[in-house]
Structure 1
Amino acid sequence: MSPQTVFAPWDDPHEKPLIQFRNVTKRFGDFTAVDNIELDIFEREFFALLGPSGCGKTTLMRMLAGFETPTEGTILLDGKDIAPIPPNRRATNMMFQSYALFPHLTVRDNIAFGLKRERRPKPEIDARVDEMLRLVQLQKFATRKPHQISGGQRQRVALARCLAKAPKLLLLDEPLGALDKKLREETQFELMDIQEKTGTTFVIVTHDQEEAMTVASRVAVMDHGKLVQVATPDVIYELPSSTYVADFIGDVNILEGRITGQDDDRVEIAWAEDQPSIHAKARVALAPGSTAYFAIRPEKIAISATRPETAPNAVTGKVLDIAYLGNISTYHVELPGGQVIKAQSTNTDRMAAREFTWDDTVWLGWSDAAGVVLER
């Protein structure tokens, strides 16, 4: 796939999905874990199921793998209902968080395990294992046991073992959860590279927003068994469909108010006593007097010592707290009415040269297109 090619099969009405969830519900007694899901996943996608614990994402994956069966609805793989097919006969493979490597087998034998179970010819197995070792760059570690390699290398062995049988679909259940933050970030890019090289469809379950936003072509945000929004990472971040999605993905200010005026796509939102109305662009028509929520990311808000002259929105307050994160600083600014707004700035200067500190009076400004207006 060339850099100029835009990979977006979900926007092409002629593309047929690899996976189709059709009105899929899963109940455990009185508890509904997955609630009437409709979802298409396409070939070569790196698809992320994202949500807090108990939202239904793992149950959805286990139904794909064959470890659970839907209470209602149908799951199609390549157009065929997979319900009657046992897990070991599905064109899928699953990689668990624990990796589940055999401690007594070498790296090579761990990768070859599934192929040997299928009684494939030895030359074919050897060639395929060599190919997998090259793919995950572990040729030098082929004769080592799992305890003799690092956590990141064990993760790659588990991935190679899953890919050795060339599944149409690889399911990854919190695959990087056991790694430390720095190694996890490095491994995310390795996963993306391997997925692109093999062309295998990956579906990953994670509660780590950053991980989902980094690796996935599309993200499905789940809550209480339902799909709340399914979109590309940039749309999920910039145009969340609800306050739940806005709040779950990244850092955000959510200001509640009511619509006091609308002119075409521009609205005015009254949100706090003694504060000017928010001027914003809205994607939907909102009735005057109706409740609205204005969500704006901290990095979209400029912080300055004087009132910004050109910003359509400007408020003043006092620096209550500062979170220094190295590359950026987040300022918690308390307004006269007690509301707190977070603004971020890039730390282009060293600490001693920074402009603002605790208790400083500052101005916050943002454009009318910086945030998103939501109904719920």
Structure 2
Amino acid sequence: MAKPSTDTWDKEFSPWNDPDEKPLIRFKNVTKKFGDFVAIDDLTLDIYTREFFALLGPSGCGKTTMMRMLAGFESVTEGTIELAGQNIADVPPNQRAVNMMFQSYALFPHLSIYDNIAFGLKRDKLPKDKIDARVAEMLKLVRLEKFARRKPHQISGGQRQRVALARSLAKGPKLLLLDEPLGALDKKLRQDTQFELMDIQETTGTTFVIVTHDQEEAMTVASRVAVMDEGRIIQVATPGGIYEGPNSVYVADFIGDVNIITGTAKAAGESKYYVDWGVNQAPILATSERPFSDGQECHLAIRPEKISITKEKPEEAENAVQGKVLDIAYLGNLSTYHVELPGGQIIKAQTANTRRLSRRNITWEDPVWIRWNATAGVLLAE
């Protein structure tokens, strides 16, 4: 079993670790079928008040179906979904304390920014002074006070995204659902907007559930991430927990860059194992809190940044393997070396470019040594 994560969310905000904390949202054995196709398969999950929760997975994994069931656009085939302790199966979408923000923003082009934000409040027949006060509060929250009288086509994509967010929050929902909300923005703007979303979520205290296939986005904004595949949740943990302690090869491979070395385990002391992995290769030493039996197939997942690369053979190393540089990816702040081992396996090692690059010390076709500590990887059974 992976050790608990020690990233900042765990220290500052972790209601999921408190047995007395009641979840805001509770999926209980939820199954959703479309004919014979099972979109959600016996899913159980708790989400807590003030969480920024991310549903992450490839297209078709069921994350949007989960969100649509929360919003009331899809019915549950089996099981129950509770919001603040109430079964919401029979509550129509417009009567749930839930709002949804779509990727397309769905703003009314003929209405001003003010009227777009005020739309739901006017439908609820609130007094004009209360509408004015609430819209002003929302405009201030998303820093668009100067744009109240403009139409959506007169502002940028990032600003339209903030208008859609303000409109979604105007009625003070308990829960805001965000379906790929930043997908239409370019990368730089998307990164900036991620931090704006986090600030707004923290300021309002609203629970956010975001659907995304962008792992970097999920890791940036979320208090916890649920990695999904084929209608099932494979792992739920904080971003640090998911990255450093994946529970399967699928999660390790889906989140970030990773090397997977497959072999068989053999006990090497308390919580230590040798991994026999290649013909004429010395066994790899790894640590694991999870027990493995001798001869059991295992998979060692090691992140490229945990592997160092040198031309000289390391004098002292728990794990050291010689290979040849096959390829180099220069990414500005990082360089990733693709090292081919004698058996043909490719291992990626990453170095930080802390100095300006005048001449590469290691280049293509160079014989090199890669090394890593026994604690650098995660030993997985599947």
Instruction: Give me the TM-score of the superposition, normalised by structure 1.
Output: 0.98
Aligned-partner residue type, residue 94 of structure 1: M
Corresponding residue SS for 1:263: coil
State the 1:350 CA deviation.
2.0
Secondary structure of the 1:353 match is: coil
Query: Which protein has greater RCO, CA pairs closer than 8 Å, 6+ apart?
Result: 2
Q: What is the percent sequence identity of the aligned residues? A: 69
Q: Secondary structure at the match of 1:191?
A: helix
Query: Is the partner of 2:219 in helix, strand or coil?
Result: helix
Between the aligned partners of 2:239 and 2:194, the Cα distance in structure 1 is: 15
2:291 corresponds in structure 1 to 285
Which of 69, 78, 85 aligns to 1:72? It is 78
Correspondence 1:220 to 2:226: yes
User: Which residue of 2 is the match for residue 121 of structure 1?
Assistant: 127
Counterpart in the other structure of 2:142: 136
Structure 1 residue 93, shift from structure 2 partner: 0.0
Amino acid in the other structure paired with 2:271: D
Q: 1:205 aligns with which of 211, 215, 238?
A: 211
Deviation by residue 1:129-171 (Cα, 9 ceiling, x = unmatched): 0000000000111111111111100000000000000000000
- Cα displacement (A) at 1:264: 1.3
The residue that corresponds to 2:3 in the other structure is none
**Moved >6 Å (runs of 4+):** 2-5
Report what 1:296 is aligned to.
302
- For each residue in 1:88-118, what CA deviation from the matched residue of structure 2 results, as whole angstroms up to 9, or x when unmatched? 0000000000000000111111101110010
**Number of aligned pairs?**
375
Q: Can you give the 5+ residue segments of structure 1 that lack an aligned partner in the other structure?
A: none
On the 8 A contact 2:9/2:238 being kept in 1, the answer is no
Matching of residues 83-94 of structure 1 within 5 Å:
83-94=89-100
What CA distance in whole angstroms lies between the structure 2 residues aligned with 1:147 and 1:246?
A: 42
Q: How big is the shift at 1:61?
A: 0.4
TM-score (norm 2): 0.97
Tell me how far 1:349 sits from its aligned partner. 2.1
CA distance 1:5–1:260, shift in 2 (3 Å): closer
Counterparts of residues 332-371 of structure 1 (less than 5 Å): 332-371=338-377
CA separation in 2, counterparts of 1:65 and 1:227?
A: 19
Q: Distance in 2 between matches of 1:10 and 1:309?
A: 45
Residues 65-99 of structure 1: CA deviation (Å, up to 9, x unaligned): 00001100000000000011000000000000000
- Once residues 141 and 260 of structure 1 are traced to their aligned partners in structure 2, the CA distance between those partners, rounded to angstroms, is 66
For the 8 Å contact 1:262–1:288, the answer to whether it is kept is no
Inter-partner Cα distance in structure 1 for 2:77 and 2:10: 43
How far is 1:306 from its partner? 1.0
- d(CA) in 2 for partners of 1:26, 1:271: 41
Which residue number corresponds to residue 38 of structure 2?
32
**Residues 1:52 and 2:58 aligned together:** yes
- Hey, what does 1:95 align to over in structure 2? 101
**Secondary structure at the residue paired with 2:243?**
helix
- Preserved contact between residue 138 and residue 170 of structure 2 (Cα < 8 Å): yes
- Say what the alpha-carbon RMSD is for the aligned residues: 1.2
Query: Would the aligned equivalents of 1:266 and 1:282 in 2 still touch at CA under 8 Å?
Result: yes
